[in-house]
Amino acid sequence: MHDIERLSEGEARLIEALAERSSSQRILARAAGLSLGMTNILIKRLVKKGLIKVVTLNGRTLSYMLTPRGFAEKVKRTYEYITVSIRFIDRVRSNILSIVAALPEGSPLYIAGPGELAQLAAETLRESGRVFEQVNTVADLEGKTGVCLVCLPEMPVPIPPGLILKSIVA
User: pTM here?
Assistant: 0.71
Q: Which of 66, 88, 109 is where one domain is finished?
A: 66
pLDDT at 31 over 70: yes
Question: pLDDT digits over 45-93, tens only?
Answer: 999 999 999 988 887 888 888 999 999 999 999 999 999 999 999 999 9
Q: 3-state SS of the chain?
A: CCCCCCCCHHHHHHHHHHHHCCECHHHHHHHHCCCHHHHHHHHHHHHHCCCEEEEECCCCCEEEEECHHHHHHHHHHHHHHHHHHHHHHHHHHHHHHHHHHCCCCCCCEEEECCCHHHHHHHHHHHHHCCCCEEECCHHHHCCCCEEEEECCCCCCCCCCCCEEEEECCC
Domain that holds residue 152: 76-167
Confidence of residue 2 (pLDDT cuts 50, 70, 90): very low
Do 96 and 41 lie in a common domain?
no
